[in-house]
């Protein structure tokens, strides 16, 4: 399957321009607007592997940098700025991939900002949100406040979570997901950490764990479509 990768610029109204990458397999049936985590940009190896893996499964990805990452500032953007970047990315992805199923979300912080944006006003044409490690709380500070806005979201949500994720105590996350009802799906990656890395003693490799994540994500996207 021939895959086309385009380096792009994304204009965010009243904020500025950031870099973006569209990874588009031939005859893509969906496009995932994939936001990066707080500490690494859209070119991080995890983001590259997700884009490549989804392309192999017939799904395009639109990656972009948040403004703070583009400017190499240490602190993540204010939520309003992050939300504006996500909205711009969704509109651009829809323009570049017309007629395919559009889903959004991303890694950790990127997924949380996407869900916040969706809770404030639905992202145009987005049919579902997929979280690659939803950061329910800070490390070793269990709480559920970060999930309160999820109740305002009406579209399907997929939570892909490692069972060793230090930023999402499953004992707290599961009741949150249960309360969201049938629109929310949890896929647990046994032994995975916040980036789905597994211990050697688990008997499988990080790549095998990521394959599980990508298979589950692709199947869920097909279900949403």
Homologous superfamily (CATH) for 3-224: Alpha/Beta hydrolase fold, catalytic domain (3.40.50.1820)
pTM greater than 0.85 (yes/no): yes
* Predicted pLDDT of residue 1: 62
Name the residue ranges covered by the structural domains of the chain.
3-224
Q: What is the pLDDT of residues 200-220, one digit of tens each?
A: 999 999 999 999 999 999 999
Average pLDDT in the chain: 97
Q: What is the pLDDT of residues 133-159, one digit of tens each?
A: 999 999 999 999 999 999 999 999 999
* Predicted pLDDT of residue 74: 86
Q: For the chain, which residues score pLDDT lower than 70?
A: 1
Token pair 């032994």 in the structure block, residue: 191
* Predicted pLDDT of residue 119: 98
């Amino acid at each position: 399957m021939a895959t086309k990768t385009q380096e792009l610029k994304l204009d965010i109204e009243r904020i500025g321009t950031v870099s973006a990458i569209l990874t588009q397999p031939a005859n893509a049936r969906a496009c995932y607007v994939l936001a990066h985590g707080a500490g690494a940009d859209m070119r991080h190896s995890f983001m590259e592997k997700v884009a490549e893996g989804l392309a192999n499964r017939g799904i395009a990805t639109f990656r972009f940098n948040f403004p703070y990452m583009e400017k190499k500032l240490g602190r993540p953007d204010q939520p309003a700025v992050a939300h504006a970047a996500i909205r711009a990315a969704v509109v651009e992805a829809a323009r570049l991939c017309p007629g395919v199923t559009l889903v959004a979300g991303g890694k950790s912080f990127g997924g949380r900002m996407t869900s916040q944006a969706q809770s404030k006003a639905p992202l145009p044409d987005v049919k579902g949100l997929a979280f690659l490690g939803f950061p329910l709380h800070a490390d070793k500070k269990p709480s559920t406040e970060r999930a309160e806005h999820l109740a305002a979201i009406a579209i399907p949500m997929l939570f892909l979570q490692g069972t060793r994720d230090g930023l999402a105590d499953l004992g707290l996350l599961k009741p949150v997901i249960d309360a969201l009802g049938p629109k929310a799906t949890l896929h647990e990656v046994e032994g995975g950490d916040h980036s789905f890395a597994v211990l050697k003693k688990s008997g499988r490799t990080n790549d095998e764990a990521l394959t599980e994540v990508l298979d589950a994500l692709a199947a869920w996207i097909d279900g949403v479509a």
